[in-house]
Amino acid sequence: MKTVIIGAGKGCKAIIELASGTFLKELKLDIKCVVDIDKNAPGMVTARKMKLKTSPDMVKALSIPNIDLVIELTGKDHVLEKIYKILPPGMRLIDHTFAHIFWDLVNAQQELEVRLDEITTLEEKVERERRFLQASFDTIPDLIVVLGQDKRIRRVNASFSRAAGVSGQTARGKKCTDLLENTELSIGCRELALLVDEVLDTGLPRSVVWQTAVPKEAFWEVSFTPILDENLEIDAIVVTWHRITEKVMLRREIESAEQKFERFIDSAHDWISIKDIDGRYVIVNPACARSFNLKPKDFIGKCVEEMLPTNRAAMIRIHDDEAIRTNQHQKYDEVFEIEGREQHYQTVRFPLHDYKGNTIGVCTIARDVSSEKELHEQLVQAARLAAVGKLAAGVAHEINNPLTGVLAYAEDILDELSEDDPMRGDIAVIIRETIRCRDIVRNLLDFARQEKLELELTNPNDVIEHSLSLVRRLPQFRNITIEENLAERLPDIKCDVHQIQQVILNLLINASDAMNESGTIVLSTEYERQYGRCVIAVADNGPGIPENLIDRVFEPFFSTKGTNGLGLAVSWGIVERHRGTMEVYTAEKGGAIFRIVLPGVSKTENS
């Protein structure tokens, strides 16, 4: 249809563009001329670009032969009236009122194109997102399946496909239990359906652990998570198999290490404790807790000031701080009062660190060295006694012969003097003092002599009874009360009865002298089962032994009574040859306590 457009505004431009495309399929316009007095109007510019004829003269344009259609787009009524006047017969006219239809079409076309572009862009974006999500889904090492309400597979990831040996496309619509039937996860297939039903019923997620059979033991954490639609109804269930074999094995190793550590701590005889950086107990082993008549849990979370006396706590706090401050292990000799007795401990402290190297606490290991300390002192004393014994033996032999001569001549002189001779008194003094010297020499020889022990099995209580039968008739025991506190079922001791009896007699006589032959002596026996030893104790209520002298009582020639000071030294030597020890203490209410400690003989040894 040959067309002339009068009015080259935006509408004209739009119609030209529509006519050049495929939009107006049912109205094909063959534009022969575009008319406008403004040669720079949008329609005029567009027409010239498209090689269409343009003209400012409306009459001339309408005179073009065979024109079928005139489109008026000026929007001016007087122009429309002029067109009507010069319009040749048979030529159709579309005025600016009807031209709005083209504009609506143009707008619809543009909006449609925009929508199509948006839809195309959205579809491309959705496709990219789908590919991205699928790729992400497939990179997850866990086995993942999405099940519908019919318990059939909607989607699987690559890990599940590899485990089941099927492609994702093949897996769709299948039952999960069918695909896992020939895999190591078949062990939990029966449970899977029940758990899916439970999640569908409750709407709550579930998680269980599957364990495969030995020797290919493996552990899987299986999670069931519901997916809700826009109506908050369950649309699907995501099932995830997460392999936790390494985690379980590591946990086993950790638990095994913890058990070994606990057994080591609990079975140790040394004190072992761990405190945090604030000085609060984290671990205390039974050996340490028992020493204070407590349980390990009594210490946990408490600081040392809450558990021990102030002076001991202050000492421990200082030592702990030093180990942390120097960041090195430290050794100390510490003394604790346990059940009324001072116990010596050799302790080692060292700081504890976390994986970053930060100090998080301090560990203390303490060993009771009281016995070693006593043994060391006994060894020193024994060495001293041995040296003195050798010296005493040599001196005694050298002195004994002259003393015998002096005593013999003095006795001869006394026999020759008359009864009223004034020299008799002097000679008697010489004889008495010579005999005294001879007794000292004899004691020296007894001290130095290492007689062979005549060992036999006997009960400590029997030795005490026999010793008491000898002293009860002595005049110095007339005003002394002797109490017996003898334990029953004591094991036997292997000893030279006469020598152990001599030790007990020495202790009884010393106690009598200390009390000026008036007071109370308590003899007692006990069996220290923990150490397998029998104890014979002799206690008096005399003045006791001064603290500064108590360590010297077993030294030869040391005495506070003016005697020769060999009785306790001889007793020490006898007990030592019996593989025992002697101990001395000052009683709380005054008096001295001597303990003879000898190894007991078990029934097995006895047999």
> In order of start, what are the domains of the chain with their CATH numbers?
2-109 (3.40.50.720), 140-248 (3.30.450.20), 268-367 (3.30.450.20), 373-448 (1.10.287.130), 456-606 (3.30.565.10)
Q: Per-residue pLDDT for 562 more than 50?
A: no
Q: How far apart are CA 556 and CA 570, in angstroms?
A: 8
Q: H/E/C letters for each residue in 527-567?
A: EECCCCEEEEEEEECCCCCCCCCHHHCCCCCCCCCCCCCCH
Cβ atoms within 10 Å of 293's Cβ, excluding its own: 9
In the chain, the amino acid numbered 371 is S
pLDDT in the model for residue 355 = 86
The continuous run of DSSP H or E covering 474 comes out as none
The continuous run of DSSP H or E covering 525 comes out as strand 518-528
- 451-502 pLDDT, tens digit each: 567 889 999 999 999 888 878 777 788 888 999 999 988 999 999 888 888 8
Angle at 603 between CA 600 and CA 607, to 5 degrees: 115
Q: How confident is the model at residue 254 (pLDDT cuts 50, 70, 90)?
A: confident
- pLDDT over 70, % of the chain: 87
Long-range CB contacts (< 8 A, 24+ apart) of 355-361? 359/277, 359/324, 359/327, 360/276, 360/277, 361/274, 361/275, 361/276, 361/277, 361/282
Q: How far apart are CA 184 and CA 115, in angstroms?
A: 52
Q: Per-residue pLDDT for 262 more than 80?
A: yes
Backbone phi and psi for residue 45, each to the nearest 5 degrees, phi listed first: -60, -45
Average pLDDT in the chain: 84
Contact (Cβ atoms closer than 8 angstroms) between residue 368 and residue 344: yes
Q: Per-residue pLDDT for 379 more than 80?
A: no
Give the CA distances from residue 594 to residues 510, 535, 586, in Å, rounded to whole numbers and listed in that order: 11, 10, 9
pLDDT in the model for residue 106 = 63
Entry pTM:
0.42
- 573-604 pLDDT, tens digit each: 888 888 899 898 888 778 889 999 999 886 55
Mean pLDDT of 246-271: 87
Tokens 């999405």, located at residue: 146
Q: How confident is the model at residue 422 (pLDDT cuts 50, 70, 90)?
A: confident
Q: How many helices (H) and strands (E) does the chain have?
A: 20, 22
The region of weakest confidence among 112-126, 351-365, 541-555 is: 541-555
Mean pLDDT of 421-434: 84
The region of weakest confidence among 321-330, 541-550, 586-595 is: 541-550
CA gyration radius, the chain: 59
